[in-house]
Every structure is written in C-alpha cells, then in structure tokens.
C-alpha cells in the first residue's frame, strides 16, 4: 500500500501490529515514513493522545507503544501550526457521531432494519460484515437484534466519515467482506456518508465506486506481491521518480474506473501492465539480429566501429582483464566503444517501457528480466 500511494493515509493504525514478525516495515521505519510524509495518519484525538484509554481498550491491537505512538503524538503537536489541514502528517479527527446516526437510521428505515436483523441472524453475516464490526455488534447488542443493527450502522457511519476526514482519494478495502459491506450499505434508503456514494457517482443498481476501485487496488497489490523479490526494498523505492510513476500509473487506471464504471473495474490489472511492458523494448540492435543480412552501409559502419574498438582494446588484449572488465572500461571511457557495444547488444539500450516494476522488484530492466517479469505477471496470485 505504501508503494502504491503518495502518501498512504492510515486511519488509527495499530502500533502493536508493527511488532508482528510478518510485518515488513519496522516500527522505526514506520515512524520515519510518517516524519517524511510518506505515511499520513488520521485518528480520533483520544486515540492519538490517551495512553490509558488505548491500554484498556478491549482490542489487544490498541495497546500503546511509546516509541511509535509517542512519536506520532509529537508529530501531531508539531503540525498543529500548519493551517492547511491536508498538509499535516498527523491529523486529529472530529469526535464520532455514529451512535446518533444509527439510532435515527433504524427509526427511519424500518424495512432496512429488518433486513439487517435477518442478515445478522444468518450464516451469511460473516461474509458481509467485517469481523471487527460483527464482533462489536454482538457484544453491544447481546440478544437484542435491533441493538446489533445499531452497532453495525454506527460502525458504517464512522468508517465512512473516517475516509472523508482522511482526504483519501482511492480506497484499499483489503477484505471482500469490506467490499460486500459497502455494497450493502449503499443499498440503504438513507446510507451513511461513505465517500462517492452520491448521485453523481452511482445510479440505481450500479456497484458503488469505492467497491469498483477497491477491486482494482486489490489487483494492484496482487501484482506487486507477484513481482517482489528478496531484493525489494520499500525504503529505497518510496520517494523515487519510479514511485511517483507507479502512483501516476495507478491513478490513471482508477480514473478509467471512475469514468467507465463496472466495465472498467473488471479489467485485468496484471494484463494491463504486461501489455505495456510487452509493447516496449530496447532501442538498438540485439544479439539475435547479428545473423541477419546487413546492408552495405550497415556493414561498413560496424566494420569501421569495430576497428576503432579493436585499436582501443588492443593494449589490453595481452593482459589479465576479462572481457566484462574491458567492456566496462570501454563503455565508461570511450564513446566509440560504448556505441558499438550498445549496438551489438552487449550493452542494452534503455528500456522505453515502465521502469517502476523493476525498481520495486530490486532489478534493472534488461532483455532477460523483462520476459521473466512478464511470466510472473501471468501467474495467478498466491
């Protein structure tokens, strides 16, 4: 998510989860990304400053980590002097109003409330309602179906309001239950303010925009996972021109989804990227072309350049350097040598397709790595 965002906006992140051994960003790296503005945090003020409330929260992931949460609180305080709220790295959001909305919603939409009650009593609830929301609803509501619905709608309102507070443009809905939840909420006669669920963003019977975008962003995460290697270093990637190129590439894809709707949301993101890579290439002559019939002009040009190369190379031919050492010296020191080596395919020309997939993977775009990356993009996500 960090690689695909600029910045990545997180709502009330859990510092406890950063300690998980499977987390690939260390707590120290996380704080550094916030300091540099690569990660932006939005949360209720109580979450940002109240250590006691965090440590007594029913969810274990809420526990306060002084090295992380203390640093985040300091950044929030430093940024209070910034008048433009969108430029702050850590933002304290307004207090929640979900309970008031939920109470009003169940009174106004009796039919919808009854449908939610049936859903909560069925085995389908786990597939439609996010786990945390479902657990809260059952803990709060107990045996009272109406109170369970109130808890669900309260979470729906607060989640939608949180995204609005974050100023985020494209959502990452990591679980299918999150996507199903937004779709179900959008069908309500008085839906809570989930972003983009307005008349201009959808029509009756149309999938809400956040779900369309989430399908695409989910595919992008699969693509990034498929091309990762043990040389992938997010710290070296974020903030580079290639990082900006990835964000711009994804933004263009999402704009298509916003303008074209469901049809565009059904695109194959891996296929889109593979198509662009396959159409690109390395300007110049490849080794595979050396056996073809050359024109007189081409043969003369290469023969003259070969003579120049041989004259340059000859002082070293009786010494110990290997051919790679010599080619490295020639390409760095002699324009003629570089031009010929590049033309003969020994020094590849610059790849004229998207560069960001290779930097993300910790590679360079070469005639060998491009076909390998295309194969990886064709494999189903793990």
pLDDT in tens, the chain (382 residues): 999 999 999 999 999 999 988 888 999 999 999 999 999 999 999 999 999 999 999 888 999 999 999 999 999 999 999 999 889 999 998 888 888 888 888 888 888 888 889 989 998 899 888 888 898 899 989 989 999 999 998 988 887 777 777 777 777 776 778 777 877 776 665 555 544 433 334 444 455 556 677 778 888 888 998 998 889 999 889 999 999 999 998 888 888 877 776 666 677 889 889 999 999 887 654 444 444 454 555 444 444 444 444 444 444 444 444 444 444 443 444 444 444 444 444 444 578 889 999 999 998 888 889 999 999 988 766 5
CB-count burial class (<10 Å; 0-12, 13-18, 19+) for 245: middle
Token duo for residue 16:
């406890």
Pair 4, 251: CB distance under 8 Å: no
Residue bearing tokens 């020191």: 333
What's the rounded Cα separation, in Å, for the pair 5 and 169? Answer: 10
What's the rounded Cα separation, in Å, for the pair 254 and 145? Answer: 38
Q: What residues form DSSP beta bridges with 44?
A: 93
HEC secondary structure over 87-140 = HCCEEEECCCCHHHHHHHHHHHCHHHHHHHHHHHCCCCHHHHCCHHHHHHHHHH
């Amino acid at each position: 998510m960090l690689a695909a965002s600029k910045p990545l906006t997180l709502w009330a992140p859990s510092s406890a989860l950063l300690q998980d051994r499977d987390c690939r960003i260390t707590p120290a790296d996380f704080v550094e990304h916030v300091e540099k503005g690569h990660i932006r945090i939005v949360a209720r003020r109580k979450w940002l400053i109240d250590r006691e409330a965090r440590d007594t929260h029913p969810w274990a992931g809420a526990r306060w980590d002084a090295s992380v949460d203390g640093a985040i609180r300091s950044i929030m305080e430093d940024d209070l002097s910034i008048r433009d709220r969108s430029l702050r790295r850590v933002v304290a959001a307004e207090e929640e109003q979900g309970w008031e909305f939920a109470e009003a919603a169940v009174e106004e939409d009796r039919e919808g409330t009854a449908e939610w009650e049936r859903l909560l009593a069925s085995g389908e609830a786990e597939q439609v309602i996010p786990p945390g929301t479902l657990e809260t609803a059952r803990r709060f509501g107990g045996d009272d179906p109406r109170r369970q619905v109130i808890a669900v709608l309260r979470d729906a309102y607060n989640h939608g309001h949180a995204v609005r507070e974050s100023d985020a443009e494209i959502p990452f809905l990591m679980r299918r239950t999150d996507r199903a939840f937004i779709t179900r909420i959008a069908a309500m006669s008085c839906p809570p303010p989930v972003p983009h669920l307005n008349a201009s963003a959808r029509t009756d019977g149309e999938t809400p925009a956040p779900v369309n975008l989430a399908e695409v962003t989910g595919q992008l995460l699969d693509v990034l996972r498929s091309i990762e290697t043990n040389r992938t270093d997010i710290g070296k990637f974020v903030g580079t021109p290639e990082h900006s190129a990835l964000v711009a590439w994804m933004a263009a894809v999402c704009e298509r989804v916003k303008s074209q709707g469901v049809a565009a949301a059904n695109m194959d993101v891996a296929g889109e990227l593979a198509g662009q890579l396959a159409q690109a290439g390395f300007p110049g002559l490849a080794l595979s072309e050396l056996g073809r019939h050359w024109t007189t002009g081409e043969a003369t040009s290469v023969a003259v350049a070969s003579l120049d190369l041989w004259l340059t190379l000859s002082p070293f031919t009786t010494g110990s350097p290997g051919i790679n050492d010599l080619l490295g010296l020639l390409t760095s020191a002699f324009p003629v040598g570089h031009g010929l080596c590049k033309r003969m395919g020994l020094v590849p020309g610059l790849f004229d397709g998207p560069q960001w997939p290779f930097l993300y993977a910790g590679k360079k775009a070469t005639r060998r790595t491009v076909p390998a990356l295309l194969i990886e993009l064709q494999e189903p996500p793990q």
